[in-house]
Amino acid sequence: MRLEELRADCGRCFALCCVAPAFAKSADFAVDKPAGRPCANLRDDFRCGIHADLRQRGFSGCTVFDCLGAGQKVAQITYGGRDWRRSPEIATEMFEVFAVMRQLHELLRYLAEALTLDACRPIRADLEPVLKKTERHSLESPEEILRLDFGALRQEVNGLLLQASELARARFPGRRELRGADLMGAALKGVDLRGASLRGAYLIGADLRGADLRGADVIGADLRGANLAGADLTGAVFLVQSQLDAARGDAATRLAPSFRHPAHWQRSRQRVPQE
């Protein structure tokens, strides 16, 4: 499985992310929306009526959501092109399957990345069968997907991802262990975080301008509102586009070629000096 296969293709989905989950009125969503109810902005063609203005209209949460390709798989493979509007009898089940599929695709995304890392060659023989097993689960019937013991699968995958993280970060001596750390609003401008473990760290609103995050493990790190202007994230381990979409940055933020600078980032050409 290639990483390119784990990207959302909204044109092949039935707007599952606009219907299945619940929204709570907050800074990320302008309104409350119960699970299973279509968003009021959803059009009959399954497209968003305010897509170009989501941030300005108070729906920034929509702009950072990424199903990692789960939506089109549920729509086109699991249900063979049937949609919840024309076949309302499958709606509830489809939404439940989508929730599980999103989690399966998250595991697939991280496993697929681990297999691309040269440092993880020693455990590729362990990674490959687990990736294949996870992919097989994603291709099962709705009934089988909903019966899946996802907790056990996640535990198995997480053990391998921890090994992959250790191998990928081993080349950085003195690397920091900040797993799950509360770094909300932290002053980390210019800090050397090469090879750091930031797994599940709370970096909401943190000042990471000019920080060196090369090789850092950022799986599950909450970067909402974090300032990444001029930061170096090349080679960051288990970074996903939605984390960047939730953060702030500029043209000087360094990313691997597989990532894009979000449109809302300031396009300043001024480089942030390293400290």
Segment 28-67, tens digit of pLDDT: 899 999 999 999 999 999 999 999 899 999 999 999 999 9
Which of 273 and 223 is assigned the larger pLDDT? 223
Task: Take residue 57 and report the two structure tokens written for it.
Answer: 């209209």
Name the maximum alpha-carbon separation found in the chain: 60
* pLDDT confidence of residue 157: 98
Least confident of 5-14, 104-113, 137-146: 5-14
pTM of this structure: 0.92
User: Residue 207 above 50 pLDDT?
Assistant: yes
d(CA 46, CA 19): 10
* pLDDT confidence of residue 273: 42
Which H helix or E strand runs over 143? helix 142-147
- What is the rounded average pLDDT of the residues 193-201? 98
Alpha carbon 225 to its chain's center: 15
3-state secondary structure 248-273: ECECCCECCCCCCCCCCCECCCCCCC
Contact assessment for residue 144 and residue 155, using Cβ atoms and an 8 Å cutoff: no
Give CATH 2.160.20.80 domain extents, the chain.
172-275
d(CA 158, CA 177): 17
Using alpha carbons, list the distances in angstroms from residue 47 to 1, 68, 252, 261, 275: 28, 18, 33, 24, 45
- What is the rounded average pLDDT of the residues 219-227? 97
Q: How many residues in total does the chain contain?
A: 275
Closest CA to 223 of 215, 275, 238, 235: 238
Alpha carbon 204 to its chain's center: 16
Half-sphere exposure of 81 (CA within 13 A, CB side): 0
**Superfamily (CATH H level) for 172-275:** E3 ubiquitin-protein ligase SopA (2.160.20.80)
